Structure 1
Amino acid sequence: MEPRASFSFKKNWWPAPVTLISCGRMNPLAGERGPNIWVVGVLGGPCDDPPLLTISPRVGMYSYKQLVEVGQFVVNIPPPQMVREMEYCGTHTGAEVDKWKACGFTPVKGEVVDVPLIAECPVNFECVVEKQLTFEREDGSPGEHELMIGRIVHVHAHQRCLVNGELQWDLVDTIYRSRPRTWRTMGPAIGFDERKSPLAKPQEAADLIEKRVKSYEDLADIIRGTPYPTQTAS
């Protein structure tokens, strides 16, 4: 049996698709800030009907103020080719730079919300903030993040990602954050959803897993020697 270690949780979140959240009105009202973009590393999907998703902005950051101000946001799914733009949006604050201009993103008016979606991203979810939940640390002080539940009110996707009008995630290559410091893509398909039938080729599956595990040893050495960028309030 493989030896196991036990330790306290310290942002050891599982790999998940990285998303770019656009917030702020495309045409801001008097006194409002212009639209901005920030990065979410773990997106939640708590309910299919009604269609809900969750984001967890850091309380007090520039984008948080826009989310509260407008009550709407758009979840944009970036492809691997946008990894540097994604890093830029996560390490710069909209209070000091125009991320749309710096990254060369094209803002497109939403069908329902006033927040622009990113045209270069293959999939976009328009959302309206439905609930906000705050948390407390063990000492009673406010938690670092707040949970926002967004109701999905409209979805956009590039035509190449659709089959018979239905979104196919196999046609959407995404960026995954493998904490603490690695960006990854989804990787090859290892089978199809056949949960009600027996495993077709168990030995072939076992060989594939063993091959992947061996490659992790070299990957670990690369990770240890890779500098990790400092993130700022976005």
Structure 2
Amino acid sequence: MKKVIWPGSTQLAPVPAVLVGCGGPGAYNLITIAWAGTVCSKPPMLSISVRPERHSYGLIRESGEFTVNLPTVGQVKETDYCGVVSGADHDKFKETGFTPLAGSQVAAPLVAECPLGLECRVKQTLDLGSHTMFIAEIVAVQVSEEFINAEGRLELERAGLAAYVHGHYFELGGAIGHFGYSVRRKPGPVVRK
């Protein structure tokens, strides 16, 4: 396949479109972030990157806490809205109809309507240029009961999550495999000696 060379740029995609809850009671805010990802398993950690001029930046920097909420395809319009208006001038919870949900370990709000929310405490901050990366430990997870099956397994694939690709939102499709399926042994005939 022939390739074209471009200068280095942020072409990694798709990425999750997440709603980050920040602030405390009476000063809750939401910001849409596409630059978020898992960075460690033990302890469970993730990162988000925020421009210093954003209203949420100061709230996260001051409190050292935030939440990451996974919106569904049906919540994309509200998710987009939270990324284009400033929390300095707008009550995003009120204007979107989202309900703030108290965290169990952090003061930052979760979004009650999102199927999954991660409560996070900042462990490290990296000033990288246009964005500051907040690396945080996930101290609690809140999951909507409807996505937990009878065996207690999370079935988040049923939630209809959205993804972000270079300025556009997309619906995730169906599963095409699972981790390790490429090397899984196929059942074969029993060989008796």
TM-score (norm 2): 0.90
Shift of 1:198: 6.9
Superposition map of 1:1-234 within 5 A = 2-27=1-26, 34-135=27-128, 143-163=129-149, 164-179=151-166, 181-193=167-179, 194-197=181-184
* Deviations, residues 141-175 of structure 1 (Å, cap 9, x unaligned): xx110111111111011111112223223223211
The residue identity in structure 1 corresponding to 2:15 is: A
SS in structure 1 at match of 2:74: helix
CA distance in 1, matches of 2:116, 2:81: 20
More strand by share: 2
Displacement of 1:195: 3.0
**What is the rounded CA distance, in whole Å, between the counterparts of 2:76 and 2:9 in structure 1?**
24
For residue 226 of structure 1, what is the aligned residue in structure 2? none
Superposed CA offset, 1:107-149 (max 9, x none) = 11111101111100000000011110112xxxxxxx1101111
Asked if the contact 1:160–1:171 (Cα under 8 Å) also holds between the matched residues in 2, the reply is no
Percent of counterpart pairs with the same letter? 33
Matched residues in 2 for 1:165 and 1:112: separation? 22
RMSD between superposed Cα atoms in Å: 1.7
CA distance in 1, matches of 2:117, 2:125: 22
Cα distance in structure 2, aligned partners of 1:49 and 1:4: 38
Alignment gaps of 5+ in structure 1: 28-33, 136-142, 200-234
Secondary structure of the equivalent of 1:82? helix
Q: CA deviation at 1:42?
A: 2.5
Deviation at residue 51 of structure 1 after TM alignment: 0.5
Cα deviation 1:5-34 (Å, max 9, x = unaligned): 00012332311111000000124xxxxxx1
- What SS does structure 2 have at the residue aligned with 1:126? strand
Indicate if the aligned counterparts of 1:73 and 1:127 stay in contact, CA closer than 8 A.
yes
Residues 149/190 of structure 1: CA separation in 2 closer, same or farther (3 Å cut)? same
Aligned partners of 1:18 and 1:78 also within 8 Å: yes
Instruction: State how far apart, in whole Å, the 2-side matches of 1:6 and 1:52 are.
Output: 34
Q: Deviation digits for residues 170-192 of structure 1, max 9, x if unmatched?
A: 2232111111x321111122234
What CA distance in whole angstroms lies between the structure 2 residues aligned with 1:151 and 1:192?
A: 26
Count of paired positions: 185
Distance 1:36 1:104 in 2: 13
Q: For structure 2, which runs of at least 5 residues remain unmatched after alignment?
A: 187-193
TM-score (norm 1): 0.75
- Structure richer in helix, relative to its length: 1
Aligned mates of 1:94, 1:132 — CA distance in 2: 22
